[in-house]
Amino acid sequence: MALSKMDIPRTAQHFLECGIEECERNCEFYCNPCHKRLCKQCCEEHLKSPENKNHEVVLYQQRKRQLPVEKCKIHPTKDVDMLCEECKIPVCSKCVTQREHRGHIFTDLETIYAEKFADFQKEIPKIQDYFLPTSQNFKKDIKKDSSEVKHIMDNIRTCMKTEGETLKSLVDTVISENMKQLDQIEQTLLEDLNTQDKTIDNYITYLNNLVKELQRCLSPTETQRLMSEKKPKIRSIPETTKPVTPGFTAGQFSKSDVTKLLGKIHVPDTIAEKREIRPIESVYNTAMKPTHKQMKEDRKKSDKKQTMSPSASVTMVRELKVPGVNNVYHVSLDQSDRLWISDDMGNLIQTDLQGNVIQKIKTSDGRGYHTVTQDRDLIFTDQDKKVINRITQDNNITEFIKTGDWSPLSIHSSHINGDLLVGMLKLTETKGIFKMRKNKEESKVTRYNKTGKELQNIQRDNKGQELYSTLPHYITENINGDICTSDYYKGVVVVNKSGQHRFSYTGQGSGFLSYGICTDVLGHILVCDGFFISKTVHLLDQDGQFLSLLLTPQQGVPFPRSVCVDDENNLYVGQYNTLTVFKYLH
488-516 pLDDT tens trace: 889 999 999 989 999 999 988 777 889 99
Tell me the mean pLDDT in the region 57-71: 82
Confidence of residue 434 (pLDDT cuts 50, 70, 90): very low
Higher pLDDT, 407 or 275: 407
- How far is Cα of residue 484 from the mean position of the Cα atoms in its chain? 13
pTM over 0.95: no
Q: What is the C-alpha separation between 434 and 420, in angstroms, rounded?
A: 43
Tell me the mean pLDDT in the region 402-409: 92
**Poorest-pLDDT segment among 131-135, 409-413, 428-432, 509-513:** 428-432
Q: List, in sequence order, every residue forming a beta bridge with 540; answer none if it has no partner.
A: 525, 546
- The predicted pLDDT at position 466 comes to 92
Give domain limits for the chain: 1-14+311-358+511-586, 142-242, 363-505
**Poorest-pLDDT segment among 73-87, 249-263, 276-290, 393-407:** 276-290
The per-residue DSSP string of 128-145 comes to: IIIIHHHHHHHHHHHHHH
Q: Output the average pLDDT for the chain.
A: 82
- The predicted pLDDT at position 576 comes to 74
Tell me the mean pLDDT in the region 20-27: 84
Among the listed residues 506, 476, 334, the one whose alpha carbon sits nearest the alpha carbon of residue 414: 476
C-beta separation of 537 from 528 below 8 A? yes
Q: Is residue 149 pLDDT above 80, yes or no?
A: yes
- CATH number, domain 363-505, options 2.40.110.10, 3.40.50.300, 2.120.10.30, 2.60.40.420: 2.120.10.30
- The predicted pLDDT at position 365 comes to 65
Confidence of residue 282 (pLDDT cuts 50, 70, 90): low
Mind listing the pLDDT tens digit for each residue in 526-558?
999 876 666 788 989 999 999 888 876 666 677
- The predicted pLDDT at position 295 comes to 41
Higher pLDDT, 72 or 314: 72
Confidence of residue 184 (pLDDT cuts 50, 70, 90): very high
Kindly provide the residue ranges of all beta strands, DSSP E only, lying in 312-377, ordered along the sequence: 314-320, 330-335, 338-342, 347-352, 357-362, 370-372
Q: What is the C-alpha separation between 559 and 565, in angstroms, rounded?
A: 18
With 0-12 / 13-18 / 19 or more C-beta atoms within 10 angstroms meaning exposed / middle / buried, residue 560 is: buried
- The predicted pLDDT at position 298 comes to 42
Higher pLDDT, 9 or 467: 467
- The predicted pLDDT at position 60 comes to 81
C-beta separation of 447 from 474 below 8 A? no
- The predicted pLDDT at position 193 comes to 93
Q: Give start and end residues of each alpha helix (H) in 218-254.
A: 223-228
Q: What is the C-alpha separation between 408 and 369, in angstroms, rounded?
A: 8
- The predicted pLDDT at position 314 comes to 66
CA angle 306, 310, 312 (to 5 degrees): 150
